[in-house]
Amino acid sequence: MTASAKQRPLIALTPDVQERGGSGLNSYVHKEYTDAVLAVGGLPMVLPLTDDELALEALLARVDGLLLTGGGDVDPAFFGGDASNPTLKSVSRLRDQMELFLTRRLLDEGRRPVLGICRGCQVMNVAAGGTLVLDVPSEIGAAVNHSDPRQFELVHDVNIEAGTRLHALVGATTIRVNSSHHQAVKELAPCLRVSARSARDGVVEAVELDGPQFFLAAQWHPERLHARHEPSAALFRAFVAAAAAKPRRTLRKK
């Protein structure tokens, strides 16, 4: 039986950013993200692009979970890296500030779930105190093309750590995934654990928080695979189920 709209958890999605010339910006979310949330019973709500913390607090008070979507690079200034690195692509400090604020608030709250996808994995690591590889090809090597243009195809293997939440969700120690990213986790945040790595070059492919809170991120793009790839579908099902099980409540004041 389909759950009524009242029973379905409200999932906040962060938007990507596109410059439209001059000082103008567009914000948007690819349809695959909203389709993936709807397919497992969630109600997606795309957040406005803003660094207004009071507005973000008010929005957080109304949602049951947070999905950090993919997109451009995270500004190294937020984790002590080289902000002049010439390989940086599509950096938006406004988006960085917004997503880091949201992620830290829910990590501090410790209840409602957070799912990070691609860039979202990197944001979650930085928000929790980690750092990033700025350019995977030059820092890791070319054994795997992590910016593979076949974005809807399974292109390389990922090894999943036994005993992790991710392992429990997908029920396997190796899966095949797509890959479309430029940065990656470097120094892991102290409170997180690596739950998956690329089989050939060891690039971090998933991180998670130990404990009851669903705070999990995948470096690949499960939203592009969920309709035909059971591990990706399982990730969205578990996230939305966690949102349904953790009713929203007012965030404590800083």
Take residue 212 and report the two structure tokens written for it.
């009851």
Take residue 246 and report the two structure tokens written for it.
């953790």
Q: What is the C-alpha to C-alpha distance for residues 19 and 90, in angstroms, rounded to an integer?
A: 9
User: Are 192 and 177 within 8 A, CB to CB?
Assistant: no
Residue 191: active-site member: no
Residue 146: active-site member: no
Among 118, 146, 205, 229, the one annotated catalytic: 118
Q: What is the C-alpha to C-alpha distance for residues 199 and 205, in angstroms, rounded to an integer?
A: 10
- Among the listed residues 154, 150, 144, the one whose alpha carbon sits nearest the alpha carbon of residue 174: 154
> C-alpha dihedral over 215, 219, 220, 221, to 10 degrees?
50
Give every CB contact of residue 239 below 8 A, 6+ residues apart in sequence: 11, 40, 42, 65, 67, 113, 115, 214, 216
Among 146, 221, 226, 229, the one annotated catalytic: 221
The DSSP annotation for 150-193 comes to -TTS--EEEEE-TTSHHHHHH--SEEEE--B-S-EE-SPPTTEE
Residue 118: active-site member: yes
Among 182, 223, 226, 229, the one annotated catalytic: 223
Q: What is the C-alpha to C-alpha distance for residues 139 and 229, in angstroms, rounded to an integer?
A: 30
Q: What is the C-alpha to C-alpha distance for residues 52 and 69, in angstroms, rounded to an integer?
A: 19
- Among the listed residues 215, 247, 217, the one whose alpha carbon sits nearest the alpha carbon of residue 113: 215
Catalytic residues: 118, 221, 223
